[in-house]
Amino acid sequence: MKTRYAIILLGILVSIASCKQKTDPNKQIDEGHVKNDVYSSKEIGWTITIPDNWKVITKEQNETFQKKGLDAMEDMLDEEVDASEVRNLIGFQKDQFNIFQSTSEPFEVEYEGEWEETNAALKELIYYTYMDQNIKVDSTATKIVKVNGLDFRSYEFKIYGPNGDVILNQIMYSRLINGFDFGVNINYNNESYKKEMLDAWLNSKFKKQKLKGKKAN
């Protein structure tokens, strides 16, 4: 089972240190490099500019996200989940609720439509994992969003607090690229910060000549 979304499950509920000293961003990612606040992934063929005054997420923070997500997912499935091939690409945050994350995981297509089926199953799994943790959540229908001319599957979650107010929104984007299940997750509870993250993401660039993944239907 593909597990890249596990890193965001319930990650918002843990306390993370967002005021660390400045660190080398190239030591915080599993693939690609950062130069002058521009991240580039050779495997995905993707380039994105990190917004001004946003902190790069550290490996320690990603490990915290991943552990909480995997624990919740394994409780839901009652089985062990292997996330050993998940690559943490660039992530940046304003605070513990306004976070941009990107991941990739190798995905070998064995039959037509397999990736699309897996993507739909992950959406359902995320929804029911939240419910299993007694977190009220709503999700939107999956739609196609273009980024630099490429089709990405996208859907959103609204997460509610005990008093019924929305405490967090999540927007997820995914596409099969160069043999990788590539995804972007945007967490936000502030419209201004949402705009900064979306502007960075929707204005990012892909090297189309290297794309081998089948376009989303």
**Window from 14-18, 24-28, 137-141, 148-152 with minimum mean pLDDT:** 14-18
CATH number of the domain at 43, please: 3.40.1000.10
Domain that holds residue 73: 4-210
* Kind plus residue range of the DSSP H or E element containing 159: strand 150-160
Q: Judge whether 159 lies within some domain.
A: yes
Is residue 209 classed as helix, strand or coil in its secondary structure? helix
Q: Judge whether 216 lies within some domain.
A: no
Question: Of all residues in the chain, what percent are helix, strand and coil, respectively (each to 5)?
Answer: 30, 30, 40
Q: Judge whether 52 lies within some domain.
A: yes
- Judge whether 181 and 117 are in contact, CB under 8 Å: no
Give dist(CA 32, CA 156) in Å, integer: 27
Identify the top-confidence range among 3-12, 24-33, 182-191: 182-191
Q: Judge whether 54 lies within some domain.
A: yes
Residues 141-181 have pLDDT tens digits of 999 999 999 999 999 999 998 899 999 999 999 999 999 99
Look at residue 211 in the predicted model and tell me its pLDDT: 38
Q: What is the pLDDT of the chain when averaged over all its residues?
A: 82
Q: Judge whether 185 lies within some domain.
A: yes
Look at residue 197 in the predicted model and tell me its pLDDT: 98
Give dist(CA 186, CA 93) in Å, integer: 10
Is residue 154 classed as helix, strand or coil in its secondary structure? strand
Residue 173 vs residue 2, higher pLDDT: 173
Is the model's pLDDT at 83 over the cut of 70? Answer: no
**Taking the CA of residue 176 as centre, how many other CA atoms within 13 Å lie in the half-sphere pointing to its CB?**
20
Residue 28 vs residue 198, higher pLDDT: 198
CA distances from 22 to 28, 50, 57, 86, 109 (A): 11, 14, 10, 25, 40
List Cβ neighbours of 25 (8 Å cut-off, separation of 6 or more): 34, 39, 50, 56, 90
**Average pLDDT, integer, range 8-16:** 44
Token code pair at residue 192? 């201004």
Number of domains in the chain: 1
**Average pLDDT, integer, range 76-101:** 80
Give dist(CA 27, CA 58) in Å, integer: 8
Q: Judge whether 215 lies within some domain.
A: no
Cα dihedral: 87, 90, 94, 98 (round 10): -50
Identify the top-confidence range among 12-26, 51-65, 123-137, 182-196: 182-196
Is residue 132 classed as helix, strand or coil in its secondary structure? helix
Residues 117-136 have pLDDT tens digits of 988 988 888 888 888 778 89
Token code pair at residue 12? 């918002």
High-pLDDT (> 70) share of the chain, %: 76
Is the model's pLDDT at 22 over the cut of 70? Answer: no
